[in-house]
Each structure stands twice: as C-alpha cells, then as structure tokens.
Amino acid sequence: MILTRTSLQCRECKKEYDTAFKYICDECFGPLDVKYNFPTITKDTFTNRDHTYWRYFELLPIEQKSNIVSIGTGMTPLIKADNLGKKLGLNNLYIKNDSVNPTFSFKDRPAGVAISKAKEFGLSAVGCASTGNLASATAAHAAKAGLPCHVFAPSNIEMAKIAQALSYGANYIAVDGTYDDANTIAAQIGDSKGIGIVNINMRSHYVEGSKTFSFEVAEQLDWQVPDQLIVPVGSGAMLNAICKGFEELQTVSLLDDVSNMHMVAAQPHGCAPIVDAFKKNNKEVIPVENPDTIAKSLAIGDPGDGRYVLKRLQQYNGFAEESNNKEILDAILLLAQTEGIFTEPAGGVSISVLQKMVEQGKIDANDKVVCYVTGNGLKATESIMEVLVKPTVMKADVNEISAVVN
C-alpha cells in the first residue's frame, strides 16, 4: 500500500518530474525538491508511534514502510534552557539537542532518509562527501541496510570522526584537499558508477530528513511556532529544510501562520560566505577557497544552498552572524557549564551567535527561541582541550587530596 505520493519539482522553473534517482532539472539545471500530495493528517496521527523521526512517515518521501532503514534517530530532547536563558536574559530559550542521536549528530536525519530511498530505488552502493559527521551517519545506515559505503572526506578532519566511520565498515577515501575538492570527486564518481551519494545525487531526498527538526520542535512545543530559530550553517541545506518543514506543517493545518518566524544563520569566522553575502546585501554567495576554522563540520567554502539561505533570511525576517574560534570555544563551555550539554564547535557557533543576537537587541526577553545543537563534543575534543585546565596528578593520599578539595 502506497501511503505518500511524491513527485520532484524544480526549485527554479517549477517543472515537475516523477520520483526517480534524479536531482537536477533537465530544463534549467536547478535543484529538484520533493513535492507531496499529503493525506489528511491530524495531531492524533502521531500518537502512540515510535519515538524516532519515522513517526512522521506521511510527511517523508519513502513510499513503502518496508524500505525504512532506521537506527533509532530522532525525537531528541528539546531542553528548556533555564540556566543559560537566565544568563542571557531570555525567558523561553530551548536547546534542540541532536548530539544524542545514534551517531551523535543531526546527520543521522538526512542520512537515514537518503539510505532508505537508495534501498527503495534498488541502488547497489551508497556514499557521501563529508566534513566528518555525515561520514559516520551514512556509514552506520549503510551497515544497517547491508549496502557498501564510500566516504570522501578531507584528510584533516577530527580523528574521532574518521575512527567512527571506519568502524561501521566504510571505504574511507581521505582526500588531500578541502571539502569542496572531496565533494567534486564524489559527484563525478557517484554519477559514473551509479552510486547513491546521499548529499549529491540523492540530495533531493536527503534534505527531507532535516525537515524532521521542524516536525519534532513543533510537536515538542505543543504545536506552537517558535519566534526565533538559530541554525548552524555549512551548505545551507538544513536551514532551508527547516523552513520547508514548518511550511508543510502549515499546509496540512498542524500549525498556524509560520511567516512570523525569524531565521538566524550562524557560521564560523574563517568560513562564513553566507554571512558575508548577507551583510553586504549581495544575492550571490562568493565561495571561501581555504576555510580556516575550528568548526570543521561547517567548513564548506562553497555552500550548495547558500543562495537559498539568503532567500529564506529575507522571507523570514532573518539575520546572519559569525563567531570566531575564541567565541566558539567560550560558547561550548558556557553551554556545558549551564545546561550539561557538551557540543562540538558547530554547536558552539549556534550558542555564540545566539549571544550576539541578544546583545544586538535582535531577540526579545520573552521570544520563544530554539537554538539547534547539531553534534557531540566527544567528536571534536582536540580544539576544546587547548582551553581546559590540565588535571594535576596527585598521590593516592587522602590528606593531601583533601587539602585541595574546598
């Protein structure tokens, strides 16, 4: 039984296609988005369902439930961050904590949908271009699906992320170059060998996984629309998908008007091409050739959805701001020491930009604010170790140790 009817529609010229292993429009070469003919949905539709994002099956692009590849992703905590909120002067601050997903980042969301669709398409192998987190997420879902997985990533990413992807059995190709170099190679190999590269030739379906951020936040807020959303931005696909998700919830009458949301794009200094374009009021994003930031998971110099992020910021009265390495590290510690959440630098970017938005008067004390924390701090300990106090080794003597315990 087919529950969800989908097609593909060009984001630029609006030409429609039947759903297929395809991601670019034949007419204008624009990106293709999944378009739905939604069934009737109510809030009760999701009652008593799995606590994974597959609870929103009717809003996702898999036709047959038998093709779902799930490792238990989603329904991550939306924490009411009272301690951090108090420090920042915010009464309704929430942290969407995706660092607790199965491979410890939000990338389990898009990877899970893409691998499920690859299975539905009958593809014989999958892969990704990655700055680290997607490598692990794709490899884990590929292992669950029993599909060979090829990862293309820059050779200088965090060791923990390389170890994780290798543990799932991926064929890991460490490219001596930037993420954009790895991405170009992955695209050519994917197309020539018919491999489902999740964030390239599977991208139309892949980005649908990130929409589940919107579905969960809406449900966790009892179907209320947030006033402010702080989103870390690399390629820009996640921010665009979050907007699409909220719009679809409005389409199926689960949410009221979403047009008053404010979207905030957060990028690291050293790789902030979207912030640069926003602040200069440019419509085009000029790529950063050599990204230089500790937030390696956001070090995408040529963001594929950059232009569309700028459109979303205009549509949703948004802003774009950046944070330098020191600000990122300070924000990681601030979040850890107020809310007990340890994030990698990408999450530090979100928290730091949140602080800046408050300081600039862009967020009011009573706004309902959702800040997205997308990856776990244990994946990127190298950078934070530099600013932590090194523990002193002491003799196993109770009196000596007691003297230093206040």
Dump pLDDT digits (tens) for 150-192: 999 999 988 999 999 999 999 999 999 999 999 999 999 999 9
As a whole number of angstroms, the distance between CA 340 and CA 348 comes to 13
Task: Reduce the secondary structure of 19-82 to three states and give it as a string.
Answer: CCCCCECCCCCCEEEEEEECCCCCHHHHCCCCCCHHHHHHHCCCCCHHHCCCCCCCCCCEEECH
Q: Sign (positive/negative) of CA torsion 363, 365, 366, 372?
A: positive
pLDDT of residue 406: 84
pLDDT of residue 3: 45
Residues 6+ apart with CB under 8 A from 327: 348, 352
Tell me which residue has tokens 């665009």.
240
pLDDT in tens, 194-210: 999 999 999 999 999 99
Task: Provide the terminal-to-terminal Cα distance of the chain, rounded to the nearest Å.
Answer: 66
pLDDT of residue 1: 36
**Residue ranges of domains in the chain:** 78-104+208-386
Indicate the pTM of the whole model: 0.96
Fold for the domain defined by 78-104+208-386: Rossmann fold (3.40.50)
Distances (CA, A) of 362 to 232, 351, 369: 17, 14, 11
Sheet holding 16-18, edge to edge: 16-18, 5-10, 32-37
DSSP assignments along 320-345, one per residue: EEEE-HHHHHHHHHHHHHHH---B-H
Counting residues of the chain whose pLDDT is more than 90, the rounded percentage is 98
8 A C-beta contact, residue 253 and residue 238 = no
pLDDT greater than 50 at residue 138: yes
Region 6-18: mean pLDDT is: 97
pLDDT greater than 50 at residue 326: yes
Report which of 347, 308, 356 is spatially closest to residue 329, judged by C-alpha positions.
347
Sequence-distant contacts of 291-295: CB under 8 A, at least 24 apart: 291/178, 291/179, 293/268, 293/269, 293/325, 293/328, 293/345, 294/268, 294/325, 294/328, 294/329, 294/345, 294/380, 294/383, 295/232, 295/268, 295/271, 295/328, 295/344, 295/345, 295/346, 295/348, 295/349
Q: What is the mean pLDDT of the chain?
A: 96
SS3 call for 314: helix
pLDDT in tens, 213-263: 999 999 999 999 999 999 999 999 999 999 999 999 999 999 999 999 999
pLDDT greater than 90 at residue 5: no
Q: Sign (positive/negative) of CA torsion 136, 137, 138, 139?
A: positive
Residue 330 binned pLDDT confidence (cut-offs 50, 70, 90): very high
As a whole number of angstroms, the distance between CA 267 and CA 156 comes to 20
Distances (CA, A) of 109 to 2, 26, 68, 276: 22, 28, 12, 28
Q: Is 374 known as a binding-site position?
A: yes
Tell me which residue has tokens 């190999």.
189
pLDDT in tens, 269-288: 999 999 999 999 999 999 99
pLDDT greater than 80 at residue 129: yes
pLDDT of residue 2: 45
Bridge partners (DSSP) of residue 267 are 322
